[in-house]
A = this chain, B = another copy of it.
Amino acid sequence: MTTTLKKPQRSARKPKGDGHLRRGEILQAAERIFIAEGYQGATIRRIADEVGVSSTALYMHFRDKDEILLEICDGAIEELLHINTEISGQPIDAVARVRLMLDAYMDFALTNPNAYQLVFCGPAGLLSTDKQQMTRDLGDRCYDKFVGVVREIGASGRLRTGNVESAAQTLWTACHGLVALLLTRPTFNWEPREDLKAVMLDGILYGLMTD
């Protein structure tokens, strides 16, 4: 029991100079490139160059490329979860909380376009499902916060149509559609973003719930 442990020294051994910093450096460099140039531009070699190490070195700290980018996305989504948690606890009308959440969701997408697209717009097979598990869990927790408030509305009989789940999924996907197309088709002749957000929120909340 007390002997022949595989990794006892690993934790006992204090990380020396560079080792424990490297991971953070990689994440920072990857985030810069990813934000500036998106998924296609954030190649292993570019990131490694930015850090000043060989591309192989990245595999010391991450299993593969997607793990790096998804960890960046996780950071962003944690922010969203925090926002949702805060809104969910506010002592205001449930519909107002739903509106705040959806508004924050759209703002989140527009402020983190590359992270949002990677997580929510990525073609079905681009990222393998199991690698996304962590990110998915975070997203699900955001969704759960959201459903909780919609459930309140349903419990007080204010859902105009559908059940709680279908109403929540409709609200979510509608807002997703707006920001997704704003991001992926920037050359389209869009009305002002704030106008579209307002029309979307007014319309869909009015359409699905009663005051």
Contacts and interface: CB of A to CB of B under 8 A. Distances in A.
A76 interface: no
Contact of A203 (B165, B185, B207): B207
Nearest to A143: B188
Interface residues of A, number: 52
Given A39-B123, A121-B184, A184-B121, A166 B196 contact: yes
Interface string A162-187: 11011101101111111011111111
For A122, A124, A187, the residue with the greatest tally of chain B CB atoms inside 10 Å of its CB is A124
A202 B124 contact: no
Contact of A38 (B39, B124, B163, B205): B124
A161 interface: yes
Given A178-B174, A180-B180, A199 B208 contact: yes
11 contacts: A38-B125, A123-B184, A162-B198, A169-B190, A170-B178, A170-B203, A172-B177, A173-B180, A174-B174, A202-B207, A207-B208
Interface of A: 38-41, 113, 117, 120-126, 129, 160-163, 165-167, 169-170, 172-178, 180-187, 190-191, 195-196, 198-200, 202-208
Please list the 10 inter-chain residue pairs (A to B) with the smallest Cβ-Cβ separation, ordered nearest first: A177-B177, A207-B207, A203-B207, A174-B174, A162-B199, A176-B177, A173-B177, A173-B178, A166-B191, A203-B208
